[in-house]
Amino acid sequence: MKKILVKKNIDIIERYQRELTILGQTGALLGWDKETYMPKKGATSRAEQFALLGKIMHEKAIDDEFFNAVKKLRNVKLNKKYSLMIKKLYK
């Protein structure tokens, strides 16, 4: 695979991972807020927020663009960091 295509697929994977990390951090913040400051009547709203966040994260995690980028790099010789990343993501 050409270097430019490898770079493009790594960029796609890193973008998805970065977005999933940010969404996960947002979920953690919502969870913390729920446990510490959420108004008594905020449970329904918070549940809707968690549900939407979970849906978005799931859609990103199973997105074809993400999966295809991982799949394309599965048998490409990469440095240790990226090889490990692809191996873990492909499982």
pLDDT at 88: 95
pLDDT at 59: 98
Q: What is the mean pLDDT of each run of 10 residues along the chain (91 residues)?
A: 95 98 97 90 94 98 97 96 95 83
Q: How far apart are CA 44 and CA 23, in angstroms?
A: 20
Residue 62, SS3 per DSSP = coil
Q: Are 70 and 6 in contact (CB under 8 A)?
A: no
Q: What is the pTM of this model?
A: 0.89
pLDDT at 83: 96
Residue 77, SS3 per DSSP = coil
pLDDT at 91: 83
Half-sphere exposure of 61 (CA within 13 A, CB side): 12
Q: How far apart are CA 57 and CA 9, in angstroms?
A: 20
